[in-house]
Chains A and B, each alone.
Chain A
Amino acid sequence: MPRIDSHPILKLPEGRKLVNFFFNGEPVEGYEGEVISSALMALGKSTFSYHPKDGAPQGLFCANGQCSQCTVLIDGIPQKSCLTPLAEGMDVRSLRGLASLPAADEGLKQAERRALHTDILVIGGGPAGLSAAYELGKMGFQVVVADDKDRLGGKLVLQTHKFFGSEKDCYAGVRGIDIALKLEKKLKKLPTVTILKNSPVVGIFKDRKAGIYKDYDSYLLVEFTALVVASGAREKNLLFPGNDLPGVLGAGAFQTLVNRDLVAASKRILVLGSGNVGLIAAYHALQAGMQVVGIVEIMGKINGYKVHADKIRRMGVPIHLNTTILKAEGAALAGSLESGADIRLCRVLTAKVDDRFKPMPNTLLCYEVDTLLIAAGLAPCDEFLRQAQSYGILAIAAGDAEEIAEASSAMFGGKIAAYNLARMLGKKQELEPSWLSTKDILKSKPGESFSRSPLAPQAEWRPVFFCSEEIPCNPCATVCPVSAISLRSIRGTIMDLPYFSGHTCIGCFSCVAICPGLAISLVRKLSDTSAEVVLPWEFSVDFPDGQLMELVGQEGEYIETAPVIGRRKNPKNNTWLLHFKTSLNNASRIAGIRVQAEEVSRPLVSKPYQDSSTDENDPIVCRCERVRLAEIVAFIKENHVRDINQLKTLRVGMGACGGKTCSQLLDKAFLLAGVDPAEVEPGSLRPLFMEMPIGEIVNEGLSRIGGKNAGARGAP
């Protein structure tokens, strides 16, 4: 079973209850309360349903309630499996064709309008929303925080890695999962703040009310004076044939599955995109015991922090620059029925691109993988902001909804938004001037890279830094109890690189343990030929002392194989520190430990690829309604389209997700049709943001779906 039963970082939940349910009539088991998509993935299922339009296999894609591709029939009613918690006895079935409406004909007994008043509604309980709510609540405003998940923290809860930034400002060196808990604890102390978990906002209305799908079973209208939109970001999608296959996942979706739900339903992974999200997702995959065959990046340089990229390369994952994906191919999994084949990604074809991003002949490679992670960047979820602004409602954005940046910066963004909003509401609040600059620093793109002069090991411990690119980060300097590490003062901010200050290092290893980039080692000379090197380790320690490991340099180049001579755990950072005995000459060049064998990332010899104009080679743009690129381009040309709204005739954006998944792909279609996207009228925004049953909107108060016969809600 692809369940994670041990993990180097994550605490595994105890006492989870197994329940019985049915998938397509077959009795199966899953954990009570986990989302059904995760239960299905844990059972090895990839195809959940078949699209009504063309029977295409449908599976998990966003894992975030946004795209609706994971819809299944639950007790007879179509539901997003990624949002529906599993309960005993549920009858889960693949959706084939359209669902039929249950004949639940018992008359309406009651209808109720539920309302709540507040000063400020904060949409989203991630780092920005929680920080904003805390500041506003402290100022005395009545605040309601509405979040669509059952756990606060937004994407922090997926982040098993330690954070960059500064310790003082944003919990640098602490793991995202732990930051979320700290923020929530702080917020809960404020009597002015009401938290609505599991309660997505589904619409903003002209009369300054927000419709909230409370607990996913009732409708609450919250009347507010002002709005903080901290709804985060969604993952960008890409156009390539096969982009819609089960097994092609957003990198964030993958992190949800692995880090939140502890389901490791992948064996071999290819990552598309070398930004921080892709790099971190690759690391999380390795930690969950999967093989990562590589990371492909269409640009000529790595997009994320160099420390992240180096870390991944040291583990043994190659990064292929100037490379694109030509096609993803699927196959029916063994043992699945012809009538209801479980189809999943099995192969990805890549090619090198020229300087105009065109694939070059004779550069094709084929990777056999069951999972392709799309890490093509993020786009702000700013619909509520735009909707509110178009209605003339006072609203402010914070976090990724304002601007895509690190979570550390989002926490500051939330605080700043709170002060700005308070001032707009007439409250005299002076913003701490340093916050603005701190936020700017935290969201900084990497600065320059510097080479460091080699260090000769001494008898005393010395830190060695494999941190050569300026990024906003300083926990190594602040954690050192003897000030042996300081940032050199070129910029005078935490962008500056850390250096050994010359004070005696006491060998506490705190810097090694806290560095989010795993980019510090401690080295000392043992003899004229040998040295001791201490490296951080965030994998299983299921090996004896004396174990030989392949040690590598900063960018993953092999240096030597050396034995483990000791280990210790830094409890504060939950990081292991491994001691190696190495040759003296190599010691200060050793930056990390290879965890994945080279063979893993070898491509297959590619079969010849034929670019034909079949449907199969035409990427899907609109997933909900399955509209392909060529069809859209032809329609634009034929009808002289200069208005995105006209694509609705093709049903683009008319599906369950409301255009959330495809709208960022439409520029490409206009370009291909010879139309400058800047000339194109944008699509109009309308509630609802998420589908909601009629019975729950009128609050008729019938039990929600779950368990035996519950599907016939309201049936006598």
Chain B
Amino acid sequence: MKTYDVIIIGAGSIGLPLSWNLARKGYKVAVLDHEASWGRGQNRAAIGGIRATHSDPAKIKICLESIKIVSSMKATYGLDLEWRQQGYLYVAFDQDTKTSFLSLLKVQKAAGLDIDWIGPERVLELAPGLKREGLLGGTFSPGDGFASPLNTATAFHKLAMDSKVDFFFNNRVEAIDIRGERIQSIKAAGQTWSAALYVNAAGAEASELASLAGLTIPVHPDCHEAGVTEPVQRFLEPMVVDILPDAESGNYYFYQAETGQLVFCITPRPQIWGRDKDSTSGFLPLCLRRMLELYPRLRNLRVRRTWRGMYPMTPDGLPLLGYLDGAQNFLHAVGMCGQGFMMGPGLGKILADSIDAGGCAQNPAGSTEYSLIFKDLACFRTFEHSEFLR
């Protein structure tokens, strides 16, 4: 039997920073993942955006924390995440979108987000070459940014290893032994593992993992495709987001990474449920057509590669945090709805702080500092509201 203080299942966006934060506090931590190495689930499929521009205050708070951590990584630990803090630009070409953005500003500002409405001229300054015709303006949140998911996962893995976290790859959890509302042990790769606390950070496979403990968690992945171009000299600073849907797609977004490459992604309409990560022929013609309509100058940019990943969705588009009845030492940090990469760094710290402060089943925060987050995102909530900026 292998015994730890905390066993985290999932070496991804959430598991990596959480393991490091816990180990730093002196916990003996193991991370199990069925993939061959770290960040190989959906982390690797993330396009790299880290924004606090959400419509939900809890998410805003988590991501503000993420931004704080990510932006200090280079100075504090000498780890280059290719972080660029150049903001998110949500563009509006119709009155309805503009109205929605403006009404969100109040909630966002109240939660501490630096964001404002900017006019067309300022939009074009930030994104030279963007279509001027019909442009009403947009919201700009300069504190947001983007980093390389590759570098970020590798950095957290390195920090965790240096803090003596044990990683076990190619290790799939096969059974969970649950008695008296507590997990007694788990079985993975033919071995038995036990810990005081188990964390479900299994991303797109969160439901399957929870079901081994007899729990039901409403996380259902859908698929999104993304792509990256060749690098060119900088011409674009912020992440550009167009939320206006058309017949075949929802929002789409793109940014120019630190390397000079354009990274892009689109939300298919209708949603494509499932776990298929194989690339489809429809993505490029669809996404690129919409990008060219918005930004004709991209026509000469060469696409280098595409990939497909999953958004582990919840009914209301918000993550699931905390405990469920029936397993008091099984903490869930799942259902990130495609935002695990941007929430992971902040959430890793917040969860570790809460665990360390003696967070218990009904009040995992242990203190009031994060109580809003744990209340709003509790796994046992009823999913009545849906987030506007998904």
Binding site for B on A (CB under 8 A): 52, 77-78, 97-108, 111, 113, 203, 205-207, 209, 211, 219, 221, 390-391, 638-643, 645-646, 648-649, 651, 656, 658, 681, 686-688, 691-695, 697-698, 700, 702, 713-714
Contact = CB atoms under 8 A, between A and B. Distances in A.
B288 interface: yes
The 9 closest A-B pairs by CB, nearest first: A695-B299, A681-B36, A643-B37, A206-B278, A691-B302, A205-B281, A209-B281, A100-B233, A111-B289
Interface residues of B, number: 51
Contacts, number: 157
B24 interface: no
- The A contact surface, by secondary structure, is loop
Contacts of B260: 98
Interface in B232-274: 232-233, 235, 259-260
Given A105-B129, A643-B37, A694 B303 contact: yes
A688 B281 contact: no
B231 A691 contact: no
Given A207-B280, A656-B230, A686-B307, A645 B300 contact: no
B161 A697 contact: no
Interface stretch (B96-104, B150-158, B205-213): B150-158
Contacts of A649: 148, 150-151, 154
A638 B298 CA distance: 39
Given A691-B230, A691-B303, A640 B297 contact: no
Contacts of B129: 103, 105
Contacts of A203: 279, 281, 306
B301 interface: yes
A203 B235 CA distance: 28
A693 B280 contact: no
B292 A695 contact: yes
Contacts of B131: 107
Contact of A104 (B278, B288, B299): B299
B299 A205 contact: no
B26 interface: no
Given A643-B40, A691-B303, 8 more contacts: A108-B292, A108-B299, A642-B36, A643-B37, A688-B304, A692-B303, A694-B302, A700-B299
B257 to A, nearest CB: 11
B297 A105 contact: yes
- The B contact surface, by secondary structure, is mixed
Nearest to B153: A649
Contact of B289 (A100, A104, A656, A698): A698
Contact of B301 (A101, A700, A702): A101
B282 interface: yes
Contacts of B292: 108, 111, 694-695, 698, 700
A698 B288 contact: yes
Interface string B156-196: 01100100000101000000000000000000000000000
B233 A99 contact: yes
A548 to B, nearest CB: 58
Contacts of A641: 37
B124 to A, nearest CB: 11
B230 A698 contact: no
B304 A658 contact: yes
Contact of A111 (B36, B44, B285): B285
Contact of B288 (A390, A656, A687, A697): A697
A25 to B, nearest CB: 20
A102 B300 contact: yes
B324 interface: no
A603 to B, nearest CB: 42
Nearest to A682: B36
B113 to A, nearest CB: 30
25 contacts: A78-B302, A98-B231, A100-B232, A100-B233, A101-B232, A101-B233, A102-B300, A104-B299, A104-B300, A105-B296, A107-B296, A639-B154, A640-B161, A643-B37, A649-B148, A656-B304, A688-B305, A692-B302, A694-B229, A695-B298, A698-B289, A713-B299, A713-B300, A714-B296, A714-B299
